[in-house]
Amino acid sequence: MTVLKSFLKMLLSFAPWLFFLIIAHDSMFRLKVGIIGAAVLTVVMAVARLHRGVIMWVGILFFTYAIVAVVILNDMWAVHYMGALANGALALGTWAGAALKRPFTLEYAREHTDPSLWENPAFLRTNYFLTAIWGVVFTINAFLAWQRSIQPAMPGWAYETISYSFMVSAMFISIWYPEYLRRRRNSQAAKS
């Protein structure tokens, strides 16, 4: 699979969250549109099997909460901490999935992996490693969003730059690392 195709598939898997990230800022109206749009996108993608596993369930639960708290009740606490809540939900879901032996990357990795390898210890280790990378990124981003909400230590653009840098790094690692392992395995097999 090409790097560009892998990158686009990864963007698609996070489409509801990206929609929310892009739309839901600067006004209460945009926040509500972002929440509703992300919720609809989450459900549509779940039905179409484009979104699945832990990340799908986290999206359904989080956006349902956000619709009730923000869209219906206008809860200003939820509005104020929305960034920390969103990243915290992703972090919690990612870590819980790994603890329950269902790392979220596994659902997506199986799409382009021979079923005979699905129980292979190396395949599973790779997915736990990648899920841990995402868990760390979501946890750091939850902390950054919380810090920005309570007492900003730097301008908003700096928080966003750091947060996006971590996300892009996790995407890069998620694409690069399995390919690196595949090339290494093939190289070792050729030497034998």
Q: Where are the domains of the chain?
A: 3-186
To the question of pTM greater than 0.85 for the whole model, the response is yes
Query: What pLDDT is attached to residue 1?
Result: 54
pLDDT at 9 over 90: no
Q: Let me know: does 142 contact 87? Beta carbons within 8 Å.
A: yes
Residue 73 DSSP SS3: coil
Please compute the mean of the pLDDT values over residues 30-49 and round it to a whole number: 95
Q: Does 111 have pLDDT greater than 90?
A: no
Tally helices (H) and strands (E) across the chain. Answer: 9, 0
Whole-number Å distance between alpha carbons of 50 and 44? 8
Average pLDDT over residues 156-179: 93
Residue 150 has pLDDT above 70, yes or no: yes
- Give tens-digit pLDDT for 40-95: 999 999 999 888 888 899 999 999 999 999 999 999 999 999 999 999 999 999 99
Report the C-alpha gap between 102 and 75 in whole angstroms: 33
Instruction: Tell me the residue length of the chain.
Output: 192
